[in-house]
Amino acid sequence: MINFKILKKKIKNIKGNSLAEFAVTTAMMATLATTAAPRFSGIGEGAKEKKTLAEIDKIVIASSNFFNSKVTIEGRGRFPGQEKYNIAVGGYDSEIALLNVIGSDANQNSTSTFNTYNHAEGSKWRSIFGVDAEGAALVEGSNVINDTGTEGHAEFMAEFANNAIKSPFQDGHYIYIVLPGGIQYVDPDGDGVYVPVPCLDCSPILYVADNENPSKIFKKYQP
């Protein structure tokens, strides 16, 4: 038989947390959450950058395959969007001009650096899969446009069986430019002034970037 007097005595001896202790615990948890949130956010952004660079690798590989196929079919390699190997795609004729707005040569504090999705520099770049690609459309406010001529976005889509790749970033979108082949820039006098000279062995150069921040998220490929 249960001794209710003993049970009642034990229940009375059980001590719970006071209101003050509960308040202190809650405050500590809130502080930890506030401190940890930026770190978790940073981890998330880092994972997105790693993922988008992996996707850019896929685009570069597809571009390499396209280039090599054109060597066999057309007698000389070219990239999607190029009408010919020595024709530029986008608004840059030289790598010198390009590296003023992206890469380590670009000043991240300069307004000319292409480091935001809605930068005016975007008008010099072309969409990989098309600005209206299903499931991977260009975000509103960006200045990137579709290419003309051979319609490189259509050629890229064909390489991916008409399945566009979407950037993991909210404002991301895959973009590209092609610097023309058949030419190189040299500084003959060492005075910092570069001049173009013919170079029949020089192939075109492809740059692929994520419109989230092209100045940092990009890859170069030259066969």
- Distant-in-sequence, close-in-space partners of 67: CB < 8 Å, separation ≥ 6: 77, 78, 79, 203, 223
Give the pLDDT of residue 190: 83
Distance CA 138, CA 141 (A): 9
- Structural domain includes residue 145: yes
Q: Decide if 166 contacts 134 (C-beta within 8 A).
A: no
Give the pLDDT of residue 136: 97
- Structural domain includes residue 201: yes
Distance CA 174, CA 177 (A): 11
- Structural domain includes residue 19: no
- Determine the distance from the C-alpha atom of residue 41 to the mean position of all C-alpha atoms in its chain, rounded to a whole number: 18
- Structural domain includes residue 151: yes
Q: Decide if 153 contacts 172 (C-beta within 8 A).
A: no
- Structural domain includes residue 118: yes
pLDDT lower than 70: segments of the chain: 1-43
pLDDT digits (tens, 9 = 90+) for 39-62: 544 558 789 999 999 999 999 999
- Structural domain includes residue 87: yes
**Token digits for 218?**
């990009």
Q: How many domains does the chain have?
A: 1
Q: Among all chains, which residue has been given the structure tokens 């790749």? A: 165
Domain that holds residue 127: 29-221
- Structural domain includes residue 102: yes
- Structural domain includes residue 4: no
Question: pTM for the complete prediction?
Answer: 0.80
